[in-house]
Each structure stands twice: as C-alpha cells, then as structure tokens.
Structure 1
Amino acid sequence: MRNFLIIFSLFFYGLNLQAQKPTEINYGDNPKAGNYFNNRGFKMYYEVYGSGEPLLIIHGNGGSIKDFSNQIPYFSKNYKVILADSRAQGKSLDPNDSLSYEMMTDDFNGLLEHLNIKSCYVIGWSDGGINGLLLAIRHPDKVKKLAVTGANLTPDESAVDPFIYKWAKSLNDSINKLPITPEIKKDRKLLHLLSYEPHISKEDLQKIQCPVLVIGGDHDVIRTEHTMLIANSIPKSYLWILPNSGHSTPIVYKDLFNETVNDFFVKPYRKIEGLDRLR
C-alpha cells in the first residue's frame, strides 16, 4: 500500500511538477534549524529560518517541510520562516488513531503558542491551505494575512476533479481491507482525509477577518470554480488563477509565486468596488 500512496502523491502534486534543484541545506532534516516539541499528544518536528515578521508555511497531505525548498531561501531573507511536519507526516510521528484538519490546525496554533508568536503571515499548500483557512477561522488572532493554493472546502466532485476523487476513494477502500501495521495505520489516516474531509461552509469562510490570497492552477485537481467559490466567500480576498499549472503552483511558478505572495503580504489590503474595478 505504501507504493500506492507514493504514486498517488506524485500524481496529485506533480501534474506540472518540475525538477527541483538540490540545495546545500537539507530542508526538512536540518539539525541546525530543527527541533521537536511535545504538542497535544505527539512530538511535532519544526524548523525555523531567518528573522523578521513571523511567517508560517504549511505543507500538503503526505508532504513535509522539504516541499518548500523553493520558498524558504526567498522568504527567510525578510521573515522568520516557521515550518513543521504536520501530525502523522514527515518526522512528526503520531501514534494516535484519528486525524482531522481541525486537529492539525490546533497543532499549528499550539506551535505558535510554543514559539510565543501572537500573530503571523501564513502560506498553505493543498491540505496546508485547508489548515490555513481553519487557522483563520478557529484562531483568527493568529493570522495577519493568508495565502492558500489548491485548497478545498468539501470532499466531493464539486470541489475535486472527479477522476482524482474516485481514485482517492478507491485507494481508501483498498487500504481499509489490509491488515493493520504502523505504516498502514498512518496511510489510512491520510487517505481518510482525502476521501472524507474537510467540511468547511461558506458561512465559516465569511468569518475570516484577515486578507486572503486564494490561488489555484487552471489545471489544478481542485476545480477552478471551487477555488473561485472560496475567494468569493471570504470578505477580504484576492483571486489568482495561474495558467498552464496543476496543483504544484509553488514549484511550477516558484519565482512568480514567491514574489506575488510577498507583494500581497507587504501591501495594504484595498477594497475594490464599482467603477474602481474598471480603472
């Protein structure tokens, strides 16, 4: 089953994946920047780079800190960049049976509390985008501005490409028939997220107080109309659909992604109404 999950992850994240250049720093396994802390029943692994305004970056399902090797060098020049392996992923081993986006979101809130960070900028990719939205909903004081790419609100074909959605459900059904081992237990939790969560309403999004940049690829596994729905449901939102891109916008358009997100962070939110839209 491990091979199936690896294949799924490569397909899910790599629709337009370009090779990443090796870096001198081993992001995601860097003893100089990494630490563990006991967080709500498991040991959470995290790394911190740079100095300045705090910026939390959250990876997607089955990913890890190393997924942001294109973002860390750029943002750490001007921000205190905080990254962690989400519960039951990467180096954050979790012996517990259940896993939900709400649990992971509260884990990140716990990490920020541990680091004495009252509020920060946030970037979230895929499941990390879902966590970012929930962090702004559940812990609004923690998020100054939020950029999410490839996030969804519901686990159905209105949000996710039908082929990917059915494939995830099929994998989930298959893994539930296998004998339980530690690896199978972990994979079950991650596939359950893809098949049966999240459940975020438009009313929940309307509670978000901070400005949000909502990003998607025009060939993303998340339907473009669903990404538009997310942006339209958040009071202070901008929408950015990248052409000729799948789910891997932080990799395919790494330089433009970094520059645009940073520009969103540093500039004040401006509400555009009426005739201003035509200027």
Structure 2
Amino acid sequence: MGKSRILVVGGTGYMGRRIVKGSLAEGHPTYILRRPEIGMDIEKLQVLLEFKRQGAVLVEGSFPDHQSLVEALKQVDVVVCTMSGVHFRTHNLLMQLKLVDAIKEAGNIKRFLPSEFGMDPAQMMHALEPGRVTFDEKMTVRKAIEAANIPRTYISANCFGGYFVGNLSQMGTLLPPKDKVLIYGDGNAKAVFMGEDDIATYTIKSVDDPRTLNKTVYIRPPGNILSQRELVQIWENLSGNTLEKTSISGQDFLALMKDADFAGQVGLGHFYHIFYDGCLTSFEIGEDGEEASRLYLEVQYKRMDEYLKLYL
C-alpha cells in the first residue's frame, strides 16, 4: 500500500513548513494549499517555491471559494491543517469549518488533522477567560468534524521549544535570561516540552496509522516531561551560569492580567494553567488517546539539553 497523499493547509507557517518537510522526508506525495490571499508576501511565496523545487505540489484554493477547496481536496487522501490561532480576535481557527464543509462534499478524505498541536482543548474546559477562546474554537471545529463523521486524528504537542524552552519559559522574550529568572509558584509543576521538528515527525507518522484513527495523539515522551526548575537547571549546567531565581505566586501572576492587552491576557492564562495547574500532565491518557513516543519507538526525539545547546 502506497503512502497517503497529504495536503498541508498553512504550509508556510511556523508549524506548517515543518509538517511539509516531515511529509516530504517520509516519502508522502505532498501537496500545499496555495491561497490567492498570499498577495505580495514575497517570503511566503519563496517558501512555497522552494517546497515545489523539493517535490511538493502547489494546489490553488481559497477559503472564500468553496469549490476551489473541494477541487483541491479531491487530489489528496489526508488533510493536515496548521493554521495559526495566535491572532485571537480574527477567529482563524473557525475558518476550518469551511474545510469541514469541503471535505464533506469531496467525500474522499480518509483522515483530517485539524489545527491543534498545543494543549488538548478537551482537557481545558475550565480555562480562564479570555484565553479559553482558543480551546472553545478548537472544540467547535472538533464537534463539526465528528458530526460529519470525518475520519480524524487530533495532535496534542504541548509546549513548543521555540516559545517555552530557549527563554526558560519567560514571557516577553525568546532568549535565555542572562542574570535573573522568574519561577512560577514553586516551579515544580510538570510540563511537556517538544522540538518542533519532532512534532512534525510524529504528526506525519500518525496519518496512515490505524491505531491513531479517531483518537488524540499526545506527544508526551517521558524524557521531555520537565518542571520549570528542571529546565532552568539544564540551562545552568550547560551555560555554567547560575541565575538569580525569584518566585511569583499564582495570585500575583493572575494579577498581571489586569494591565495586559487582550493577547497578553490570553498568554498569561495559558501560562497559568501550564505552570501552576500542571494541566499538561495532570491527566492519564485514556482509551481515546495514544502517546506518540510509545507508538513510534524509532523516532529519536530531541531532549531539551540538546535543544538548549542552540542558545549557547
């Protein structure tokens, strides 16, 4: 049996371009939705042309043009959507409902992986406002997928290394602190940190796997389950620099939301759930889920000491 033809929606984005690379590396016929809305964005166009040079097929389609989406979908077997949800007030994630409608009409898609990749929204119904909007929108998309009986796999990849590891989980920067580090509570809540390329590898491996059909794949390898204090210790060992540590209580952390803008409030809420509630590791994976590193033992995922070496 040949490998599925994969269409990546959002293939020029932060995760999208990694999904495209992962798909090509695994030998899948790889298609990328080229949206006319790219306009004059020369950097995105150059990314697309480079993927075309590497063997990807560019397929034109537009969310406002339902029939163009249907025609694009008829050329593939699997759809992986990586549209960003960071522009919270534009409701990008809900644009996937147009994909759901097109998949229903096309009738040939054997697996849909919607844009998730972070915390499992099904575990976040208690999330604080306004950050809950991300999870609510993902659940709206899930419900539409399931109501349409579309075969699916949800990917929960937890904390992206680029946003949570290089900065030792400090907000407002992407680089390691030089002198001082803020510790959330006692710093011992366990989180899950992942390299983005590994997330893409696990995602692509799941698309043709019957074990992941209609399930959530949690990318939660044991070697990358760490507390913030453990992450800081890894950096101190690598850099030879001991950082001054200041703790902030949960109450004081939430008080920061008062003066933050909308996006800042969303980020603060998510950080609170990760580093105070321990929401990424506070539940067991049930029968409707699988853990990626157990399924794909051949993947040598990057530990965070290796990830942090890039920042030395």
TM exceeds 0.5? Answer: no
Structure whose CA Rg is larger: 2
TM-score bracket for the superposition, by shorter chain length? 0.3 to 0.5
TM-score, length-normalised on structure 2? 0.34
